Structure 1
Amino acid sequence: MFRKRSLPIFSLLAALSLSMLPLAGQGSRVSAADTAPRHETASPVTVITVDSGTDPDTSKSKTCVSDTPCTLRRAIVQARGLSAAERPVLIQFDIPQDAHEGYDSTLGIWKIQVQSTSDPSVFRSLDGGQVTIDGSTQPGGATSGPKIFIVGPSTGSRDGLLVGANAAGGHDGNTIRGLAFQNFKTHLTVNSNDNLIEDNWFGLSDDGTTPYLRNDDPQDGSGSAGVALSAGVSGNTIQDNIFLGFDGVAAALRGDDNTFTGNYVGTPADGIIRGKQSDPSLICTSVDWLGGGGISMEGNNHTITNNVFAGLRQEIFHISTQPDAIRVTGTGHLIANNQIGVDAADVQVGVCGRGVYLSDSPKKVQVTGNTIANSGLSGISLNGALYDENTLRSNLIIQEADWPFVQGSLKGEDAIQLGPGLPDDFEHFRPAEVLSIDGTTVSGSSGTNSPCPNCTIEIFLDDTDAVTETLQVLTTAVADANGNWSATLPFELSASQGLRTTSTTAQYNTIPYMHAGTTTGLSTLYVSGYEIYLPLILRGQ
């Protein structure tokens, strides 16, 4: 396994330059403000003020007009029944600082203990569109993090909020902001389009330092999912939230054109994991940090950017596969500038499963500028018989332990793993070969029996230990029509440093039957003196 170490120290030792991949500073949040789509919210026509932290009944008809006090349940019932002329709607909070209203004076939070219903979800769905539930409107209380906590009943087998009845167009444009969710199966289900989910906690304890476990059982985790998007939805943005401890996935993205940005997944509220084991015999065991699952994607054209995934682990049988940080199916996604296995203090705490898994024949996926440190399985894994047109660029993969060979697997794990289900032509296509390293000048050609005209060659720094890594992106080159290329390195290699390459095709059929924009796996290691490692070939000695 791996030893926990500081990324800045490691950067100095390995001469890494991460300027193109800015990491969150210690204790800072990754902000999505500059990257997420804008969801403009008009001033509310109707304002409903929740003035009680109780939940006295489960009526589906009582509103804050018909009955007092105004509870969250009644506010939702009232909002869903409003006409188009009475929207947008703001559900705000003004609950007294009273223990009988769920107020915790030590933490400055209000906990709404929700009653169980006979329905799968404890609340009626937010129908009609343009409804904002904003926990940050609550006066007083905590100065950071959510003030309003919504707690599911009993053993956490019921679902929480439902956003929209369907994606037909009449229930869109809602906002869920500044809430904390505990003890639900699926905490938030999104059935409509163009919704904004921001600044919420999913699955965290009251003080935000540990997972809130259903049934107080690590195997149950904090829930099955934090946010689940239904098939067919589009235009939703999930940003600046924190997800922790899920026994399924933190977020399931379905539909098209949805965005997941600036979130922390697997960490406490400040993004810094303090309970991570450093003893190799204890890492990713039942005594290690329980970060839960990552995210899954299906559908088309999702954007996953500027997130932190760290400490992911589930309480599962030891021979079971630990969760992927990002599991990808579908077409046209962008996965960029994410920090996987590195927490907000820039410490490499790792994740217990894969970093990024392109599974089930994805197409036109761009995986660019991500940092993946100390994944328990492959950094990036590729698979699928119809895999095509997926581009991998400028990803740093840092690993202290040997890549494992999982029992029953056909292939060992690797920095970029070529899975057993890939097309043979892709699997056997060799990335660019380095022919000469002369000071800072490097030149080469296409890989053996793999002509690659006009391909883009990316050149990575690695050290000369037995572990395949991409420690730094040194430079890129574009091959000529014969596949020959040259480039200038930013510095001369030391005796303990070498180069690895990938090739990205420029035209259809360079790799037989595959489209332009397809990136190969990693090359063998090339060092000064014309030595090639793995397999060992000596030249010019």
Structure 2
Amino acid sequence: MLALLSCGGGGGAPTIVVDSSADTDSRDGLVTLREAISLATGELGVADLDSEEADNVSGEPGADSSDTITFDPSLFPAADGGTIALDESLPPLSTGADIIDGFGAGVIIDGVDISLECITISSNDNALKGLQIKNCLVGVMIQPGAQGNVIGGPAEGEGNVISGNDEGIIIGGAGADNNVVKGNLLGVDASGTQALNNRNGVHIHPEAQGNLIGGTEPGDRNIISGNTGVGITIRGSANTVQGNYIGTDINGTAAIPNGMEGIWIAPGAKDNVIGGSSAEERNVISGNELFGLNISGNGATGNIVKGNYVGVDATGNTALRNRHGLVISDGPQNNVIGGSAPGEGNVIAANGTGLLIRREGTSGNIIIGNYIGTDASGSEPMGNAVGIWLLQEAYDNTIGGTGPGEGNVITANNVSGVHVDGSGTVGNTIRGNSIHSNGQQGILTTEGGNRELEPPTITDASPVRGSACPNCTVDIYSDSGSEGEVYEGSVVAGADGSFTFEGDVSGPNITATATDGDGNTSAFSWPLIAGAQ
């Protein structure tokens, strides 16, 4: 009991102090967390308390007020913590604008047997700070319709440790909009250096919109790692994930893998943004057992992934591989990986496959401005096995472009820079990139991929002349080998296939690709030494 507080005293917002670790609702002179939530929502009135319990309440809490629940640090010491072992789920935060604040104390909420939704939020503008939540079926459930809630915070001690649960946080369904999850540890212990598994970290359900996972301040960063399933699952639309470490420790330099994807954008999820153009918005998505990021299924459209580190650590200079970096699979359309503006390109390096684009219906996706196989400076090789691999009937996707900033740097990958495989994998356009120094081919087409369009033949180098498919667009490159490090410009072949490029080339070798009217791009031509006749 804290005799310093009294009902009705002071002019500030109502405060309720929890001074019992029991999970009861009884008149015993002590206030439990269950009783405190009931006071904040008006299910229990101050008049219902005994005199000793009432001493733990200031102001007039209830359904119409914004109430703060704090914890007696003598019972919940910051160093060791005090555990509240739940017998059943806590009452929901149902009336809005209430705060459960464990700052300065050590508050452990224990669901005991993974069967409870431990904390449920069914109203707007609530906050949870400084809690440890474990052994729950769901650590924090934000129900459909609940908006503007904040889980965690940027200041030291405001973040929650939500680990050792089945689901860490669920943002559930229609109307669960504009909630913020920031500064938390999900799937790791309080040090941020050891796994303490949830099955899944954060799950945004269908129709939940405008939610923010992370933020642009250092304290906004969530560490979402060590989960046996997926770090973040997004089924809703127009949500943002930025500034997080996903699959790493709290320093962003060592792997604490999520067992499946770091981020999964699921079927039907639209217009979500992963990352941003500034360093503060960047996610580090590395060290995961399966994929760094997976966009999959029909209806996963309009999503943007930009400015992230995928397969490297927070410095951008050290490998921290995912099995595969980014995967677009089973029907997603019109998603953008990277961007043409400064800072929008992703660093995708040191993975199995850097970017895997596959299966029927996967089309219209745009890959621009990325560094694939190199570090964040673009100068140090950190190759994937394959840079970009398109297969299994993925069609009409675009790799690069001839506009400013649209070309990708695709270099130092162990096998090919871009591989287009399979007779149904057609219409995939590869233009304007810097593709060089890969282990084998810069662009490889096999088994009918991109119709295995015949590469141009360069016959003269000053000016560049040759032959290609009739009326095809011919892109001219310079390279020290047989790929295309420097895009020099384009020309359209005539009806007879002949072309002449009048622009300057830097050499020492000249190569070319052809792109037909259906968007199929060929492999690189055999090189010709610049200036040769």
TM-score range relative to shorter protein: 0.5 to 0.7
Deviation, 1:211, is: 2.9
Q: Paired residue for 1:129?
A: 124
Q: Name the SS for the 2:111 alignment partner.
A: coil
Deviation, 1:212, is: 2.6
Deviation, 1:374, is: 0.7
Cα separation, 1, equivalents of 2:246 and 2:346: 15
The change in CA–CA distance for 1:262 and 1:250 in structure 2 (over 3 A counts) is: same
Aligned counterpart in structure 1 of residue 140 of structure 2, from 161, 164, 169: 161
Q: Name the SS for the 1:234 alignment partner.
A: coil
Supply the AA of the counterpart residue of 1:127.
Answer: S
Q: Paired residue for 1:197?
A: 181
Cα separation, 2, equivalents of 1:109 and 1:265: 27
RMSD: 5.0
Q: Name the SS for the 2:231 alignment partner.
A: strand
Tell whether the 8 Å contact from 2:284 to 2:309 is kept in structure 1 after alignment.
Answer: yes
Note the 1:131-146 alignment, pairs <5 A.
Answer: 131-133=126-128, 135=129
Q: Paired residue for 2:350?
A: 374
Cα separation, 1, equivalents of 2:169 and 2:514: 40
The change in CA–CA distance for 1:224 and 1:291 in structure 2 (over 3 A counts) is: closer
Deviation, 1:393, is: 0.8
Q: Paired residue for 1:152?
A: 134
Cα separation, 1, equivalents of 2:493 and 2:270: 33
Q: Paired residue for 1:350?
A: 320
Q: Name the SS for the 2:141 alignment partner.
A: strand
Deviation, 1:104, is: 4.0
Aligned counterpart in structure 1 of residue 263 of structure 2, from 285, 295, 298: 295
Cα separation, 2, equivalents of 1:364 and 1:149: 40
Aligned counterpart in structure 2 of residue 263 of structure 1, from 227, 241, 244: 244
Per-residue CA shift, 1:71-102, capped at 9, x if unaligned?
3x555555566999837x56565652x47545
What TM-score does the superposition give when structure 1 sets the normalisation length? 0.60
Supply the AA of the counterpart residue of 2:209.
Answer: S
Deviation, 1:339, is: 1.0
Q: Paired residue for 2:149?
A: 174
Q: Name the SS for the 1:428 alignment partner.
A: helix
The change in CA–CA distance for 1:113 and 1:403 in structure 2 (over 3 A counts) is: same
Cα separation, 2, equivalents of 1:85 and 1:440: 81
Instruction: Indicate whether 1:230 and 2:205 are aligned.
Output: yes
Q: Paired residue for 2:293?
A: 325
The change in CA–CA distance for 1:392 and 1:403 in structure 2 (over 3 A counts) is: closer
Aligned counterpart in structure 1 of residue 253 of structure 2, from 246, 259, 272: 272
Note the 1:38-117 alignment, pairs <5 A.
Answer: 49=15, 51-52=17-18, 55-57=21-23, 68-69=30-31, 71=33, 86=64, 89=66, 91=68, 93=70, 95-96=72-73, 98=74, 100-101=76-77, 103-104=79-80, 110-116=105-111
Q: Paired residue for 1:428?
A: 450
The change in CA–CA distance for 1:499 and 1:255 in structure 2 (over 3 A counts) is: farther
Q: Paired residue for 1:253?
A: 234
Supply the AA of the counterpart residue of 2:199.
Answer: S
User: What are the ranges of 5 or more consecutive residues in structure 2 without an aligned counterpart?
Assistant: 1-10, 44-60, 82-102, 153-158, 215-220, 277-281, 339-344, 374-381, 395-413, 429-448
Q: Name the SS for the 2:529 alignment partner.
A: coil
Tell whether the 8 Å contact from 1:387 to 1:423 is kept in structure 2 after alignment.
Answer: no
- Higher mean Cα deviation, 331-340 or 423-432? 423-432
Q: Name the SS for the 1:364 alignment partner.
A: coil
Deviation, 1:397, is: 0.9
Deviation, 1:250, is: 0.7
Cα separation, 2, equivalents of 1:230 and 1:324: 20
Deviation, 1:160, is: 0.5
Cα separation, 1, equivalents of 2:42 and 2:323: 45
The change in CA–CA distance for 1:80 and 1:480 in structure 2 (over 3 A counts) is: farther
Cα separation, 2, equivalents of 1:434 and 1:109: 69
Cα separation, 1, equivalents of 2:500 and 2:41: 63
Q: Name the SS for the 1:184 alignment partner.
A: coil
Tell whether the 8 Å contact from 1:359 to 1:382 is kept in structure 2 after alignment.
Answer: yes
Name the structure where strand makes up a greater proportion of residues.
2
Q: Look at both structures and tell me which one has the larger radius of gyration over its CA atoms.
A: 2
Tell whether the 8 Å contact from 2:224 to 2:245 is kept in structure 1 after alignment.
Answer: yes
What TM-score does the superposition give when structure 2 sets the normalisation length? 0.60
> Aligned pair count?
402
The change in CA–CA distance for 1:172 and 1:310 in structure 2 (over 3 A counts) is: closer
Q: Name the SS for the 1:128 alignment partner.
A: coil
Q: Name the SS for the 2:324 alignment partner.
A: coil
The change in CA–CA distance for 1:115 and 1:243 in structure 2 (over 3 A counts) is: closer
Of structures 1 and 2, the one scoring higher in RCO (CA 8 A, sep 6+) is 1
Supply the AA of the counterpart residue of 1:187.
Answer: G
Tell whether the 8 Å contact from 1:326 to 1:357 is kept in structure 2 after alignment.
Answer: yes
Deviation, 1:357, is: 0.5
Cα separation, 1, equivalents of 2:462 and 2:36: 67
Q: Paired residue for 1:339?
A: 309
